[in-house]
Amino acid sequence: MADRAQFLAEVERLVASHTLHSSESLCKLLRYLAKQAVEHPGVPVKEYQIATEVFGRQADFDPALDSMVRVQVGRLRSKLAEYYNSEGANDPTGVEIPKGSYAVIIHDRTIATSASNGHSEFFHNGARESKAPRAWVIAVVVLSLALVFTGALLVRAYTANPVARDTAQQTPPVPTPVRVFWKGFVTGPEEPWAIFSNAAFVGRPDTGMRYYDAAKDGKNPILDHYTGVGEVLAVHNLDLVFGALHQTLRIKRGSLFSLDDAKNNDLIFIGSPSENLTLKEIPSTREFVFQQVQSGPRAGNMEIINKKPQAGEPREYLATPSGIPLTEDFAIVALVRAINPEHSALILAGTSTLGTQAAVEYVTKENYLATLLKALDVTEPNQLRPFEAVIRVKVAKGVPVESELVALRKLKN
C-alpha cells in the first residue's frame, strides 16, 4: 500500500506541475492509466477502453480507423520527458509510459542509489519487479554496438546513393507565410479541432435526398453522415499543412461536435452555417454573415451579406445561380475569438462546397497567405489579430482555379 500511495502521489505531483497542469486531457489520461495500474495490476489497458472511458468516444469507436488514443498517449510521453528534462530534473523517482504499451511505470532515477543497492526497482501496473544491473549493462552495450554498426551502414548507403541524398536535401522548408499564419494553432497545449460540415438530409442515396425541413420532416429519419467534395479536399489540405508543421489535427463532423469540445481548444470550422450547424451556436462572424435568400428568382440560395459596405463594395455576394454550371462562388475566411476568448476559431466557408474548398486553399497556399498577411499588415505571428474577409472564387469544370480577396475587416477584439 505504501508503494501504491507513493505511486499515486507522484502522479498527482506531475498533474500539478507547470508542464502538465494546463492540459486537462493529458492529466485525465495520466490519472486514468495510474488508477488502472493500481486497481488492476498486470492487466493491459486497451486502446478502445481509453477512447471510450477517458475521451468519451462512442461505442462504435474503431482504433484501426482513429489514431486519437495513440496520438494522445504519444503527447503524454513527450510531456513527461519534457517535465523530467526541466522542472523535474532532480526528482528521485520518475513516471513513464514505455512505447508499445499503455502501462505506467514508476522507477528510481537516482543512479548512485541503484548501483549501491545492487539492483533497480520499478512499479509496473501495480507490481514491483527487480532486475540485475549486470544483465542490463550487457544489453545496453550490445544494443549500442548494433546501433553504431547499423548507423555506419546507413551513412554508407546514403553517401553512396546520390538520389537518396539529393531527395533528403531537397525537402522544402515550410514557407514563411504559412508559419506566420498558423503558428497560433500549432503551439497551443492541445491540438486544434477541425469541424467539417455534414448537413441533415432526408431520403435515401439511391432514390434521392434533400435537406431536412423541420416543418415537414419531423418524423423522418435524418441522414447526417454526408459532406461535400470541397470539405473532403479541405480536410486533406489542412492535414498536409499541419503535418509539415509537425502538429496533429483532430477531425470531427459537425453533428458530433459539442460545446464542451469548444471550451479549451482552438477550432477550425469547414463549411457554412447552412451545413455546419455548429456555427449557429458559437461566436461567429459579424461583418460578413451567411443568409438564405428569402424571395425572388434566387430564393433558397445561400448568400454572404456585407453588414457595413465600404466604398465600392456590394451589399451581398451571390454565387452563380442554380441550374447552370458553377463558375463563380464566394467564401468567408475569418479568424474570431472562440467561446473561451483565450482560444481562436477560424471559419472557412463558401456558399457552396467548392467555395469552402477555396477558402481552405486560401489559408494553406503560400501565395494567397502572403496576400492576406500583407493586407493585414502582419509580418510576425504575434501581430495576427481577429479579422473577417470575403474572397471571390473562380470555378472551372467543378474545380476552384483562382481566388481573390475582395473585402477585409480588421476586428478590434
Q: Which residues pair with 131 in a beta bridge?
A: 120
Residue type, 201: F
59 CB contacts (<8 Å, ≥6 apart)? 52
Straight-line distance from the first to the last Cα atom of the chain, in angstroms, rounded to the nearest whole number: 53
CATH of domain 2-131: 1.10.10
392 CB contacts (<8 Å, ≥6 apart)? 317, 328, 329, 330, 403, 404, 406
213 CB contacts (<8 Å, ≥6 apart)? 202
pTM: 0.59
- Rounded to whole angstroms, how far apart are CA atoms 347 and 349? 6
> Which cell goes with 94?
520518475
- Rounded to whole angstroms, how far apart are CA atoms 24 and 55? 11
**What are the residue ranges spanned by the domains of the chain?**
2-131, 141-169, 176-410
> Which cell goes with 386?
481577429
Q: Is 26 helix (H, G, I), strand (E, B) or coil?
A: helix
What sections of 170-228 are H helices per DSSP?
176-186
Backbone angles phi and psi of 59, in degrees to 5: -65, -20
Determine whether 195 is exposed, middle or buried from the number of CB atoms within 10 Å of its CB (0-12, 13-18, 19+): buried
Angle at 22 between CA 16 and CA 27, to 5 degrees: 60
> Which cell goes with 143?
544494443
Length of the chain, in residues: 413
292 CB contacts (<8 Å, ≥6 apart)? 274, 300, 301, 302, 303
Pairing mode, strands 344-350 and 201-204: unpaired
In contact, 192 and 265? CB cutoff 8 Å: yes
Closest C-alpha to 410, from 377, 380, 368: 377
In contact, 312 and 376? CB cutoff 8 Å: no
> Which cell goes with 288?
460578413
Per-residue pLDDT reduced to its tens digit, 284-338? 788 999 888 888 888 888 899 999 999 999 999 999 988 889 999 999 999 998 8
The angle, 0 to 180 degrees and rounded to 10, between the axes of the packed helices 68-84 and 24-39 is 90
- Please report the beta strands in 184-248, taking only residues with DSSP state E, as ranges in sequence order: 193-196, 201-204, 208-211
Closest C-alpha to 335, from 280, 273, 284, 379: 284
Q: Which residues pair with 267 in a beta bridge?
A: 193, 345
35 CB contacts (<8 Å, ≥6 apart)? none
Q: Which residue positions in the chain have pLDDT lower than 50?
A: 1-2, 112-134, 136-138, 140-142, 164-169, 171
Buried b (16+ CB within 10 A) or exposed e, 11-45: beebbebebbeebebbbebbbbbbebbbeeeeeeb
